[in-house]
A and B are shown apart, each in its own frame.
Chain A
Amino acid sequence: AQSVTQLGSHVSVSEGALVLLRCNYSSSVPPYLFWYVQYPNQGLQLLLKYTTGATLVKGINGFEAEFKKSETSFHLTKPSAHMSDAAEYFCAVRPADSSYKLIFGSGTRLLVRP
């Protein structure tokens, strides 16, 4: 069965530092890939997505992610963290087997230190 692994339940960075949140998926066929952000007591907001084409995807709020098929990874990065980036981040896949559901990782909480 398809699965998503997010390494690190908590990541702490200083304001202005690089943000790197890791996501690996299990699939022999590249799925559609997504990153969502969830602020406390709110729903999920789509940050970016990969379906086909360019493997480096740019999203909102300065985030980007790179699809690496050989590593089955879709890591999320941001060059300089802001205090407002503190939130829970979820990686999700939509399998390529005509499935309509999203399969989510367990999430990574990003803490930004002043």
Chain B
Amino acid sequence: DAGVTQSPTHLIKTRGQQVTLRCSPKSGHDTVSWYQQALGQGPQFIFQYYEEEERQRGNFPDRFSGHQFPNYSSELNVNALLLGDSALYLCASSLTTEQYFGPGTRLTVT
């Protein structure tokens, strides 16, 4: 049984560019959450998708947007990248209370 998968593994972008990160949930899970983990810190909640709609959002600007597809996979889009957006982006899937995390995408903004 495949766990949560994310692509790409690493990404380097320039300030002002846009980026799309992808996530496939664990089999049987219908909910996807996205987190940002800056170096040396705990993950920060960005938003959660359920039934193809954003169900809850954390304290992130509108530059951060997402989408969930009918097969429950999800995308995270970040526009107008800033240096401070450099971080590990983690996707987590869930069916009930437990969230299972993927390996993350390391985004570097130069």
Contact B98 A43 (CB under 8 A): no
Chain A-chain B contacts (Cβ-Cβ < 8 Å), number: 56
Main secondary structure of the interface of A (DSSP, over half): strand
Q: How far, in angstroms, from A4 to B42 measured CA to CA in the complex? A: 10
**CB of B44 to closest CB in A, whole Å:** 8
Q: List 13 A-B contacts (CB under 8 A).
A: A36-B101, A43-B90, A43-B101, A43-B102, A43-B103, A45-B101, A46-B100, A49-B98, A94-B97, A100-B50, A101-B48, A102-B43, A107-B41
On A, residues with C-beta under 8 Å from B are 4, 32, 34, 36, 42-46, 49, 51, 90, 92, 94, 99-107
B103 touches A99 (CB 8 A): no
Complex contact B56–A100 (CB within 8 A): yes
User: With the chains together, A106 CA to B58 CA distance in Å?
Assistant: 17
In Å, the complex CA distance between A90 and B88 comes to 15
User: A99-B56, A102-B45 are contacts. A44–B90 as well, Cβ < 8 Å?
Assistant: yes
CA distance A104 to B102 in the complex (A): 16
Taking each of A32, A43, A94, A107, which has the highest tally of chain B beta carbons within 10 Å of its own beta carbon? Answer: A43
Q: Are B42 and A107 in contact (CB under 8 A)?
A: yes
A44–B45 touching, CB < 8 Å = no
Query: Do B33 and A100 touch across chains, with their CB atoms under 8 A apart?
Result: yes
Question: Is B7 an interface position by the 8 A CB rule?
Answer: no
Interface: B99 (CB within 8 A) = yes
Q: A100-B33, A104-B43, A105-B42 are in contact. Are A42 and B58 (CB under 8 A)?
A: no
Other contacts beyond A45-B101, A49-B97: 9, CB < 8 A: A43-B4, A44-B92, A44-B101, A49-B98, A51-B97, A99-B56, A100-B31, A100-B50, A107-B41
Known contacts A44-B90, A90-B42, A90-B43: A101-B58 contact under CB 8 Å: yes
Which chain A residue has the least Cβ–Cβ distance from B90?
Answer: A43
Residues of A within 8 Å of B103, CB to CB, are 42-43
- Is B25 part of the binding interface, using a Cβ–Cβ cutoff of 8 Å? no
Selected from B40, B99, B102, the residue in CB contact (under 8 A) with A102 is B99
